[in-house]
Amino acid sequence: MYVKKRRLGRGVAIVGAGVSKFGSFSDKTSRDLFIEAFNELKQSVDRGIDPKDIEALYLGNHIGEYCEGQSLMAPIIAGYLGMIPKPATRVENACVSSGVALREGIIAIASGLYDIVLVGGVEKMTTLSTEGVTDALGSALDALYETPAGFTFPGIYAAMATTYMDKYGAKEEHFMKVAIKNHNNGALNPKAQFNTTIKDIMNGRIAKAKQKGQPIPTWVDEMEFLKDPKANPVVAWPMKLFDCSPITDGASCLLLVAEEVAKSFTDTPVYVIGTGQGSDYPLYEREDMTTILAAKFAAQEAYAMAGVKPEDIQIAEVHDCFTIAELVGIEDIGFFSPGGAIKAIEEGLTARDGAKPINTSGGLKSKGHPVGATGTAQAAEIWLQMRGQAGARQVPDKDISLALTHNVGGSGPTCAIHIYERR
Amino acid sequence: MVSQKEFTDAAFNQLLGEGKLMASRCKKCGALHLPPKPICVNCQEGDMEWTILKGKGKLAAFTTIAVGLPRMIQEGYGRDNPYCSGIVELEEGPRISARILDVDARNPQKLKVGMPLVVDFLERGEGENKRTLLAFKPV
């Protein structure tokens, strides 16, 4: 694959980040969620930000039409932030909507057009039933040739999983181990929708059965719990309930500035030194269904721009919308060889205290996946980890100088990768 | 058996309704496109012709879906009655998404990547809403 070494016209840095609580909030709209994230962002800018100085907004939002009957979300949010009449643009690229919003913000600053840009994303999903969300997210598949075949979003990743199992010998247990790991991290993230380990979920069910005088389940550990179809029913085999990221309300945002003014906001900016974006066919047209070309291409472009290699990156947030997606993702970004993710998860290499910590935030699986907000929420986790502000889930090696985010949309037809540096 | 239809989704579906699974083939480089494409993605030429496929292939990827699309729930599928969707690799080379019929969707462990399949056509709806869906079943 030919990848051109591209460069930004000038450097770009993150000087603030905010994330709302992720979960199910019947009394909150997208606007409320985004304001919650923005208020945290304002607090995070060490020398402060006057919102009047923000010059443009790029906002990721995927299914606002389905969930709230609302398209054209960006100017509405801008109106709540006091940004009128400045430009506000919605970016819709499925689950990579805010990953691409981040990229558009970077490009706008690198071009010299703006110095200070707000990027972020929001999704308010719990207004819909599970069936309604399945329908809405299904619109990101190929509506002419995948949905008539009955494919859902979990279904298409499940199909990818069957080819991965066939080619590399992965078992259902390997997918389950991804879920256990990410919940272990999410249990330490107070913003996470499922702020608990799978073991604690299991113990909670046992306690509840005892309390109600029902037959007491005999699960000895979380793996047995996950293998019990009553506890962990199939959604689209081999993907089960605990292989799937949840339906989530949430928002996230980042303050991007030109490198030359970054130090006027903070002594410890996080520089974005690589950005890449790629596209791919629907799953059925891909030469190899165990990898996502859009991600490999985006990663290679980002690595080339940053001038770093996969082995240089210390931590990453990887798009685990389904557990299979994390295994494929850590191979596509070059951390492990094709099929090598199986051994990596078996040996705990991607755990928070492993050689390559993946998804210290809890990932989409445990933290939650408000689709339009996910890309910039991943970057917000990197911002905390790189500044040593991640609290109980801070990685043991506090000196993180290089990190990466991998944000995939749909079944993989679109992907954005970013590489971050702390100097 | 050459059709004079344009290389559109509507034409592909009309041909399915006639019991024909057809692809577009680039007259210049010979690349096959299924579903049909009017421009060759291999050589970017626009001179295409219809070609009929034998309808034989093998299962390349699959899933059995318990939480289905609203349309499938209306057909009676659900958590206790899952359905199978798959990607089929045809003998001629291209792959396509399709419903997989006549398999035990409650026992997905018994389904195997590589199992031989043959094309089938599913009729849905009536009158103006009549539509033929692409399906495959075990040989």
> Letter for the amino acid at A233?
P
Give the pLDDT of residue B128.
Answer: 85
* Contacts with A152 from chain B: Cβ below 8 Å: 65, 67-69
CB atoms A149 and B86 under 8 Å: yes
Both B14 and B43 in one domain: the answer is yes
Both B20 and B41 in one domain: the answer is yes
Give the pLDDT of residue A284.
Answer: 97
* Contacts with A284 from chain B: Cβ below 8 Å: 87, 95-97
Q: Which of A369, A406, A415, A418 is catalytic?
A: A369
**In this structure, what CATH number is given to the domain that contains residue B112?**
2.40.50
* Contacts with A285 from chain B: Cβ below 8 Å: 95
Closest CA to A175 of A332, A366, A346, A333: A346
B132 inside domain: yes
| Chain B nearest-CA residue for A160 | B61
Domain of residue B115: give its range. Answer: 56-138
* Contacts with B60 from chain A: Cβ below 8 Å: 163, 289
Both B26 and B60 in one domain: the answer is no
Give the pLDDT of residue A152.
Answer: 94
B114 inside domain: yes
B2 inside domain: no
Q: To the nearest whole angstrom, how far is the Cα of A237 from the nearest Cα of chain B? A: 5
Give the pLDDT of residue B2.
Answer: 65
Long-range contacts, A143-146 (Cβ 8 Å, 24+): A144/B9, A144/B35, A145/A282, A145/A284, A145/B35, A145/B96, A145/B97, A146/A282, A146/A283, A146/A284, A146/A411, A146/B97
Q: To the nearest whole angstrom, how far is the Cα of A117 from the nearest Cα of chain B? A: 38
B117 inside domain: yes
Both B43 and B29 in one domain: the answer is yes
Both B83 and B126 in one domain: the answer is yes
- Over residues B15-27, the pLDDT tens digits come to 999 999 999 999 9
Preferred mutation among B67, B99, B134 to probe A, highest tally of A CBs within 10 A: B67
Q: To the nearest whole angstrom, how far is the Cα of A292 from the nearest Cα of chain B? A: 15
How many distinct helices (H) and strands (E) make up chain B? 2, 8
| Chain B nearest-CA residue for A163 | B61
Q: pLDDT grade, residue B46 (50/70/90)?
A: confident
Indicate the helix (H) or strand (E) that contains A159. Answer: helix A153-168
Please tell me if residue B122 touches chain A, with a CB cutoff of 8 Å: no
Partner-chain residue, chosen from A147, A239, A285, that has the shortest CB–CB distance to B69: A147
B81 inside domain: yes
Query: pLDDT digit of tens for each residue in chain A (423 aa)?
Result: 788 899 999 999 999 999 999 999 999 999 999 999 999 999 999 999 999 999 999 999 999 999 999 999 999 999 999 999 999 999 999 999 999 999 999 999 999 999 999 999 999 999 999 889 988 998 999 999 999 999 999 999 999 999 999 999 999 999 999 999 999 999 999 999 999 999 999 999 999 999 999 999 999 999 999 999 999 999 999 999 999 999 999 999 999 999 999 999 999 999 999 999 999 999 999 999 999 999 999 999 999 999 999 999 999 999 999 999 999 999 999 999 999 999 999 999 999 999 999 999 999 999 999 999 999 999 999 999 999 999 999 998 878 999 999 999 999 999 999 999 999
**CB atoms closer than 10 angstroms to residue A96:** 34
Half-sphere exposure for B28 (CA within 13 Å, toward CB): 9
If one counts the domains in chain B, the total is 2
Both B67 and B133 in one domain: the answer is yes
Both B74 and B131 in one domain: the answer is yes
Q: How far apart are CA A88 and CA A109, in angstroms?
A: 15
A369 counts as catalytic:
yes
- The residues, any chain, with a CB within 8 Å of residue A178's CB and separated by 6 or more, are A243, A320, A323, A326, A327, A345, A365
Q: Which of A95, A244, A253, A415 is catalytic?
A: A95
Both B27 and B67 in one domain: the answer is no
Q: Which of residues 127-156 of A touch B (CB under 8 A)?
A: 130-131, 134-135, 138, 142, 144-152, 154-156
Number of residue pairs across A and B with CB atoms under 8 Å? 105
Q: Which of residues 254-283 of A touch B (CB under 8 A)?
A: 282-283
B3 inside domain: no
ipTM, 2 decimals? 0.96
CB atoms A159 and B98 under 8 Å: no
B41 inside domain: yes
Please tell me if residue A249 touches chain B, with a CB cutoff of 8 Å: no
Both B74 and B96 in one domain: the answer is yes
Q: What is the pTM of this model?
A: 0.97
Let me know the angle formed at the C-alpha of A393 by A96 and A181, rounded to the nearest 5 degrees: 70
B91 inside domain: yes
Half-sphere exposure for A330 (CA within 13 Å, toward CB): 29
Both B60 and B106 in one domain: the answer is yes
Both B46 and B62 in one domain: the answer is no
Both B25 and B63 in one domain: the answer is no
Q: To the nearest whole angstrom, how far is the Cα of A293 from the nearest Cα of chain B? A: 16
| Angle between helices A323-332 and A293-306 in degrees, nearest 10 | 40
